Amino acid sequence: MVQNKSAIFLKYPTEYPVAGEHLEIQNKELTVDLKDNDVLLRNLYFSLDPYMRGRMRNAKSYVPGFQIGEAMTGYGVAEVKESKNAAFPVGTIVSGFTGWQQYSVIPGASGLRVIPGARESPIPLSAHLGVLGMPIIGQPKAGETIFVSAAAGAVGQLVGQMAKKLGLRVVGSAGSDDKVDYLINELKFDAAFNYKKNGTILENLKRAAPEGIDIYYENVGGETLEAALEMMKDHGRIIACGMISQYNTQQPYGIRNLFHIVSKRITFRGFIVSDFAEECGADFAKDVGSWLVKKEIIYREDIAEGIDASPEAFIGMLKGKNFGKQVVKIADL
Amino acid sequence: MVQNKSAIFLKYPTEYPVAGEHLEIQNKELTVDLKDNDVLLRNLYFSLDPYMRGRMRNAKSYVPGFQIGEAMTGYGVAEVKESKNAAFPVGTIVSGFTGWQQYSVIPGASGLRVIPGARESPIPLSAHLGVLGMPIIGQPKAGETIFVSAAAGAVGQLVGQMAKKLGLRVVGSAGSDDKVDYLINELKFDAAFNYKKNGTILENLKRAAPEGIDIYYENVGGETLEAALEMMKDHGRIIACGMISQYNTQQPYGIRNLFHIVSKRITFRGFIVSDFAEECGADFAKDVGSWLVKKEIIYREDIAEGIDASPEAFIGMLKGKNFGKQVVKIADL
């Protein structure tokens, strides 16, 4: 039996969730009665991601919804604390679906992945929540222009830097001047704009990419998607990783210019990162890890401290208050 | 010099075009002064297609807009009447961009394609405007469900029948009970509905495809697209050939559920038939031509008689009044 603080899902929100109303920290006792192949994890970090808002619904989705009264689920990094599984001895550092909680029992160690050399590596443990698992798709070619929305976020900052490495012209949008400065001065984007200022999003995008865009890396939806459709070139590709502007409203924005998909022969493809888990396994993680250590790519995290901080950190992320990938640190290694 | 009746583009419409206001039949004299490699065509049939509405705009599009004061352009079948091109002797039957007119001078015979054996073939000449040039894309697999909108139209009827040949379950929508009867009783669709009756389009689609849809062949846009997105299965494909419901309005319908593209990992791809001209060349035309002759596929045409009828036939097609592929017959062979 261990004391296990966790973030419990209380109620389906219709717009932005509210801490205390829709999710709440509770201190519960966890019964530890391991069967063959089970492990008990002491959790260290977990990831807060926009897709989680989509699981706070009472509707069919690509993953089962969160269960009312249960801990929120999510991807984390943890240390094996007790084990009845020879592949995961005590002390092993792993990543997997550990949830918003201090401890987790994982039956059969299902879905856990060992992080080799984690204790000695210069790569921070939290990086295993994001930077090492992010593919770039969309057949980018040197000389093309890519537009990335939410470009200072978890996904956007990596996509933009990888696109630079591949020789593309990179344009980003973000929701504050600080983030725009970061994109231009630290990540070396070719252009970036604050979508809340200086006219409509379309006007901003026209100034930043007057030549039009070949690839749009879609994280936000709504008016930004509509502007991107206007500026797409023929045979453009839209890679849809998320549509965060549409998750917390009962009045979703209606996209009125989808006819460009026909006239410009656009391919608009949705994906979920876990679909690419196979493709971006060990080799990909090694490459990106080495770039990270050599500071060839920059990866900014926004770390909330302690499980108690997780509801507000999550809600802040949905509102764009995070600067970089939002993670929660639960415990030191 | 020949007398040449043609349909002249007068003015950019903002909603449905009106005969006499936006396009009008005029009888002009055509100067025939052929240079080397030019041909004069006597036109027999031409095709009326929804995409033409998109060219009646003063805006950048995938093809140049129609020119005010000039004849409408379009694909047709014609007989070579005079020739300075050895590849196209007098009497040859060709297809190409002949326009909405009785005669055309084609400099350098540019873009013309000979129809071999046209005079002896049991395949009607008008079929070369549609049925022989229509690809089906979207990686269809036996056992999958395809939903086709505007299913009794030029594209829809062919896509549906080809999908049946490939072993798919085929569901169609159309705008009248007559068309629905045709889909069910003649084309042997598995299910079909009149989108104007019996509740919303989504309710109709749920009844017709309760299992969900793998492929949506998109011809109409708007509310039908929104319903299809609701009913798509994971990894579904949307093949966008047109969005006719959105061409004649200044208030396009806003699509509010594009987040399904992410959550269901949908691929939404636009195409223009001419992009596939290479892929569906001679072999494809031969296969489909033989199916047509053996009545293994049915291809219904709505033939307007005479160039004078072309403006009203075009406007009727935009409103869904045509039953099958809309063509104009200008002259007998």
pLDDT band at A282 (very low <50, low <70, confident <90, very high): low
Query: Higher pLDDT residue, B138 or A31?
Result: A31
Q: What percent of chain B has pLDDT over 70?
A: 92
Average of per-residue pLDDT across A53-80: 83
Residue range A302-326, pLDDT digits in tens: 999 999 999 999 999 999 999 988 9
Average of per-residue pLDDT across A253-278: 83
Shared domain for B176 and B254, answered yes or no, is: yes
Contact A258 B221 (CB under 8 A): yes
Shared domain for A213 and A106, answered yes or no, is: no
B65: in domain: yes
Tell me the C-alpha distance between B327 and B307, whole Å: 11
Contact A272 B257 (CB under 8 A): no
Residue range A215-250, pLDDT digits in tens: 999 999 999 999 999 999 999 999 998 888 888 888
pLDDT at A136 over 80: no
Q: Worst-scoring range by mean pLDDT, A300-304, B127-131, B274-278?
A: B274-278
Task: Label each residue of chain A as H, E or C.
Answer: CEEEEEEEECCCCCCCCCECCCEEEEEEEECCCCCCCCEEEEEEEEECCCHHHHCCCCCCCCCCCCCCCCECCCEEEEEEEEECCCCCCCCCEEEEECCCECEEEEHHHCCCEECCCCCCCCCCHHHHHCHHHCCCCCCCCCCCEEEECCCCCHHHHHHHHHHHHCCCEEEEEECCHHHHHHHHHHCCCCEEEECCCCCCHHHHHHHHCCCCEEEEEECCCHHHHHHHHHHEEEEEEEEECCCHHHCCCCCCCCECCCHHHHHCCCEEEECCHHHHCCCCCHHHHHHHHHHHHCCCCCCCEEEEECHHHHHHHHHHHHCCCCCCEEEEECCCC
Q: Which residues of B touch A234 (CB under 8 A)?
A: 62
Query: Higher pLDDT residue, B147 or A135?
Result: B147
Contact B275 A257 (CB under 8 A): no
Average of per-residue pLDDT across B197-205: 97
Q: Quick one: pLDDT at residue B140?
A: 83
pLDDT band at A292 (very low <50, low <70, confident <90, very high): confident
Shared domain for A144 and A105, answered yes or no, is: no
Contact B256 A253 (CB under 8 A): yes
B222: in domain: yes
A289: in domain: no
Q: Quick one: pLDDT at residue B213?
A: 97
Please list, in sequence order, all residues whose beta carbon lies within 8 angstroms of the beta carbon of residue B305, skipping any fewer than 6 positions away: B328, B329
A129: in domain: no
Average of per-residue pLDDT across B276-290: 61
Contact B243 A265 (CB under 8 A): no
Mean pLDDT for chain A overall: 89
Contact A255 B258 (CB under 8 A): yes
B289: in domain: no
ipTM of the complex model: 0.78
Shared domain for A150 and A260, answered yes or no, is: yes
- CATH number, domain with residue B79: 3.90.180.10
B52: in domain: yes
pLDDT at B279 over 60: no
Tell me the C-alpha distance between A153 and A169, whole Å: 19
Shared domain for B236 and B113, answered yes or no, is: no
Contact A261 B267 (CB under 8 A): no
Selecting from A234, A240, A257 the residue whose C-beta is nearest the C-beta of B252 gives A257
Selecting from A254, A267, A271 the residue whose C-beta is nearest the C-beta of B265 gives A271
Quote the radius of gyration of chain B (alpha carbons, Å): 20
Shared domain for A155 and A226, answered yes or no, is: yes
The domain in which residue B26 lies consists of 2-130+301-329
Question: Does residue B13 contact residue B22 with C-beta atoms inside 8 Å?
Answer: yes
Average of per-residue pLDDT across A100-113: 94
Shared domain for B187 and B262, answered yes or no, is: yes
CB neighbour class for A278 (10 Å; exposed up to 12, middle 13-18, buried from 19): exposed
Average of per-residue pLDDT across A71-75: 91
Residue range A153-183, pLDDT digits in tens: 888 998 899 899 889 999 999 999 999 999 9
Average of per-residue pLDDT across A111-133: 84
Shared domain for A114 and A240, answered yes or no, is: no
- CATH number, domain with residue A242: 3.40.50.720
Q: Quick one: pLDDT at residue A276?
A: 52
End-to-end CA distance of chain B: 21
Instruction: Count structural domains, chain B.
Output: 2
Contact A262 B246 (CB under 8 A): no
pLDDT band at B250 (very low <50, low <70, confident <90, very high): confident
Tell me the C-alpha distance between B261 and B234, whole Å: 9
Q: Quick one: pLDDT at residue B285?
A: 64
Average of per-residue pLDDT across B97-115: 94
Shared domain for B146 and B251, answered yes or no, is: yes
Shared domain for A94 and A52, answered yes or no, is: yes
Selecting from A246, A258, A263 the residue whose C-beta is nearest the C-beta of B54 gives A263
Q: Worst-scoring range by mean pLDDT, A96-100, B180-184, B186-190?
A: A96-100
B114: in domain: yes
pLDDT at B94 over 70: yes
Distance from CA of A90 to the nearest CA of B (A): 36
The answer to whether A235 contacts chain B (CB < 8 Å) is no
Q: Quick one: pLDDT at residue A280?
A: 47
Residue matched to tokens 């001047």: A177
Query: Higher pLDDT residue, B280 or B246?
Result: B246
Contact A262 B247 (CB under 8 A): no
Burial B316-333 (b: 16+ CB within 10 A, else e): bbbebebbbbbbbbbeee
B214: in domain: yes
Q: Quick one: pLDDT at residue A60?
A: 58
Shared domain for B223 and B316, answered yes or no, is: no
pLDDT at A149 over 90: yes
Shared domain for B96 and B121, answered yes or no, is: yes
Interface size, chain A vs chain B, as Cβ–Cβ contacts under 8 Å: 106
Average of per-residue pLDDT across B146-155: 93
Q: Worst-scoring range by mean pLDDT, A14-23, A260-269, B64-73?
A: B64-73
Disruptive mutation site among B241, B259, B266, B274 for chain A (greatest number of A CBs within 10 Å): B259
The answer to whether B263 contacts chain A (CB < 8 Å) is yes
The answer to whether B269 contacts chain A (CB < 8 Å) is yes
Q: Quick one: pLDDT at residue A86?
A: 96
Q: Quick one: pLDDT at residue B280?
A: 47
